[in-house]
Amino acid sequence: MSSTLFRTKKVEQSILDTEEPEHALKKSLSALDLTVFGVGVIIGTGIFVLTGTVAKDNAGPATALAFVAAGVACALAALCYAEFASTVPVAGSAYTFSYASLGELAAWTIGWDLVLEFALGTAVVAVGWSGYIQSLMDNAGWTMPAGLGSREGADAFGFDILAAALVLVLTGILVLGMKLSARITSIVVAIKVTVVLVVIIAGAFLIKGANYDPFIPKEQPVEAGASLDSPLIQLMFGWAPSNFGVMGIFTAASVVFFAFIGFDVVATAAEETKNPQRDMPRGILGSLLICTTLYVLVSIVVTGMQHYSELSVDAPLADAFKATGHPWFAGFISFGAAVGLTTVCMILLLGQTRVFFAMSRDGLLPRFFSRVHPRFKTPHRPTILLGVIIAILAGFTPLTELAALVNIGTLFAFVVVAIGVIILRKSRPDLPRAFRTPWVPVIPILSVCASLWLMINLPAETWVRFAIWMAAGFLLYFLYGRSHSRLARRGSGEEQPSVGGGTP
């Protein structure tokens, strides 16, 4: 039994499977498209909210250094993703990578994890987008009926119709084709980045040097908690991180790290990239560099405009402009956030459908979902199924507490990919690698350590929910996936490996 759990799928076979006519995705993306996707999904509410939150509570003006530290942690993982995505240019991201290196059970585990991560991420972002739209409507004197507004904190029955409608519209766009999705994303990202740049440039003229004194505020110890709401590290070791001071920078980094989540979604589009060996590393690393730079500049501006102790938690950028006598920027920033969140939602939905599609093509989920549309060459069946489910989830459920599951799922994927790089280097040193992660195994080991550190700083309650979801996944694998796997059928002679593009 152990041999079946750890059977690996050869890289060559994974690539051959992408050539089966009924299961082949259209290659239409360039390095620019991938970079735009990365920037589109990374820059979300984090840049408009987290900067002020961590500056006020954790690091003061040194929040800029926290963004640098978080960016370095992400860069370690990005280097590992870049090697895998250029070596195994197949849909599925970390799922496909782990299938080639760690085996089928690990692949199923990470695939099941990513399905949860992207589904909740899409729903959470859709609800956030709905909130911004309703805020802009209120400013214009329009109010949504109580039963069709946000579900957060609601007592009566209701449905967030705006969140659900956004998911359904984006589902339709993804069904129509990747190039259309890329064009729409490019337009929206251009608007979003323009808003961010205007905020940076305008805010730079409102900076007061006195607000940077002290740049690293005096350290303040934090009392350790004992409930499930407390970080796991506190329950395990009784250790609590400090706010402010040098250690406060790293405390802040563990918070702002989640503003970077999303660059790994770029890897799910490897199979639809014209030249993945060249363009995937450029898209992954390029988008991360751009976003890190923007985050650092925004944090420098907002802490220079207003003293960190006076920043608001809900809308720090907008309120900083209000405090300096420029209130119209508040609406401008809300508009940028609302527009920008549409791309975040769409790209997360894109990532989930590609992982689901890859698992279906491998037989771990019903093969019905791995047939592509005859005209658009997109995985329309899983896209429609998941889009409808997520629309219902976003409409009916307040998701604040579940949002942390997105974070632990991403970090878990980072750990698996980093370990996979080391294993595949040893098991398949002959594979052609257009991009090679430098200093292996040092970089992957550092990536694992950074990800685990951030994971144990998540609430223990998040770990409990994550464990329940993974237990359900193991049950499904042993009841269905293990026996229906194409590797299992090929091993028993029920299915012959595909050669040169025929459908088995």
Domain extent for 287: 2-216+229-491
Asked whether residue 70 is domain-assigned, the answer is: yes
Asked whether residue 420 is domain-assigned, the answer is: yes
Weakest-pLDDT range from 17-21, 236-240, 395-399: 395-399
Question: What phi, psi does 220 have (nearest 5°)?
Answer: -130, 115
Return all residues near 478 (Cβ < 8 A) that are at least 6 apart.
none
Rounded distance between C-alpha atoms, residue 311 and residue 302, angstroms: 9
* Cα angle: 446, vertex 448, 451; to 5 degrees: 105
Give the number of C-alpha atoms closer than 13 A to the C-alpha of residue 66, restricted to the C-beta side: 36
DSSP secondary structure letters along 324-361: TT-THHHHHHHHHHHHHHHHHHHHHHHHHHHHHHHHHH
Residue 152 or 281, more confident: 281
CA dihedral 289, 290, 295, 301 (to 10 degrees): 120
Which of left, alpha, beta for 93 (phi over 0: left; psi -120 to 50: alpha)?
left
Rounded distance between C-alpha atoms, residue 170 and residue 391, angstroms: 10
Asked whether residue 498 is domain-assigned, the answer is: no
Question: What phi, psi does 448 have (nearest 5°)?
Answer: -60, -45
Asked whether residue 464 is domain-assigned, the answer is: yes
Residue 230 or 362, more confident: 362
The mean pLDDT of 262-266, rounded to a whole number, is 81
Q: How many helices (H) and strands (E) does the chain have?
A: 20, 0
CATH number at residue 91: 1.20.1740.10
Q: Calculate the CA 128 to chain-centre distance.
A: 15
Asked whether residue 328 is domain-assigned, the answer is: yes
User: pTM for the whole thing?
Assistant: 0.87
% of the chain at pLDDT higher than 90: 48
Is residue 319 classed as helix, strand or coil in its secondary structure? helix
Give the amino acid at 431: L
Give the confidence band of 79 by pLDDT, cuts at 50, 70, 90: very high
Provide the mean pLDDT of the chain.
Answer: 86
Q: What is the pLDDT of residue 504?
A: 39
Q: In the chain, how many domains are there?
A: 1
- The pair of structure tokens assigned to 371 is 């047939």
DSSP secondary structure letters along 434-494: SS--TTTTHHHHHHHHHHHHHHHTSBHHHHHHHHHHHHHHHHHIIIIIHHH-HHHHHHTTS
The mean pLDDT of 58-81, rounded to a whole number, is 94
Q: What is the pLDDT of residue 499?
A: 42
Q: What is the pLDDT of residue 206?
A: 92
Query: Tens of pLDDT along 278-310?
Result: 999 999 999 999 999 999 999 999 999 999 999
Weakest-pLDDT range from 15-19, 59-63, 72-76, 397-401: 397-401
Is residue 424 classed as helix, strand or coil in its secondary structure? helix
Asked whether residue 20 is domain-assigned, the answer is: yes
Rounded distance between C-alpha atoms, residue 170 and residue 277, angstroms: 28
Q: What is the pLDDT of residue 473?
A: 94
Query: Tens of pLDDT along 411-444?
Result: 899 999 999 999 999 999 999 898 999 999 999 9
Q: What is the pLDDT of residue 501?
A: 39
The mean pLDDT of 87-104, rounded to a whole number, is 91
Q: What is the pLDDT of residue 116?
A: 85
Q: What is the pLDDT of residue 467?
A: 93
Q: What is the pLDDT of residue 142?
A: 80
Give the confidence band of 494 by pLDDT, cuts at 50, 70, 90: low
Query: Tens of pLDDT along 350-379?
Result: 899 999 999 999 999 999 999 999 988 899
Residue 56 or 491, more confident: 56
**Nearest residue to 345 via CA among 89, 10, 118, 101:** 118
DSSP secondary structure letters along 160-208: -HHHHHHHHHHHHHHHH-HHHHHHHHHHHHHHHHHHHHHHHHHHHTT--
Q: Calculate the CA 346 to chain-centre distance.
A: 12
Q: What is the pLDDT of residue 322?
A: 82
The mean pLDDT of 222-237, rounded to a whole number, is 78
Give the confidence band of 343 by pLDDT, cuts at 50, 70, 90: confident
Q: Calculate the CA 396 to chain-centre distance.
A: 22
Question: Are the C-beta atoms of residues 284 and 40 closer than 8 Å to each other?
Answer: no
Tokens 């009916």 — which residue?
A: 396
Rounded distance between C-alpha atoms, residue 231 and residue 463, angstroms: 10
Is the pLDDT at 27 greater than 70? The verdict is yes
The mean pLDDT of 147-172, rounded to a whole number, is 77
Asked whether residue 221 is domain-assigned, the answer is: no
Asked whether residue 501 is domain-assigned, the answer is: no
Q: What is the pLDDT of residue 404?
A: 60
Tokens 């970089």 — which residue?
A: 443
Rounded distance between C-alpha atoms, residue 313 and residue 88, angstroms: 42
Q: What is the pLDDT of residue 76?
A: 95
CA dihedral 184, 187, 188, 191 (to 10 degrees): -170
DSSP state of 323: H
